[in-house]
Amino acid sequence: MVWMEVFLMAEGVNVRFSGELQRFIQERTGDTGVYASASEYIRDLVRRDYEREEQRKWLWLRHELSPGMKAPEPEFETLEVESLLEEFKSQRANRGS
């Protein structure tokens, strides 16, 4: 069996591909491909996956905040930072007791 190895030395990652996956990577790298090396291709895939995950997190946050952002202004409650900090300190002190 022939293996294709990708080394990402900074993090010490070693990935092996064989068969169809190896051929797939080879088509995208080198003189005939878009990427100069298999490592460059894998880094780009990981980067894209990371960006998708970050986007998913922001979409989730927007979804969670949406009801509050759409609420009529009279439903909002004015809060003072000092009173919130005092309440937080009080709750923290009670948990420690």
Q: Which residues contact 28 (CB under 8 A, 6 or more apart)?
A: 34, 35, 41
Which of 19-23, 47-51, 67-71 shows the lowest per-residue confidence on average (mean pLDDT)?
A: 67-71
pLDDT of 45 above 90: yes
Query: How far apart, in Å, do the first and last CA atoms of the chain sit?
Result: 64
| pLDDT bracket for residue 1 (50, 70, 90) | very low
pLDDT of 73 above 90: no
pLDDT of 47 above 50: yes
The conformation of residue 32, written as its DSSP 8-state character, comes to G
Per-residue confidence (pLDDT) for residue 7, from 0 to 100:
56
Q: What is the pTM of this model?
A: 0.59
Q: Which residue from 31, 38, 29 is spatially nearest to 8, judged by alpha carbons? A: 38
Per-residue confidence (pLDDT) for residue 2, from 0 to 100:
47
Per-residue confidence (pLDDT) for residue 97, from 0 to 100:
62
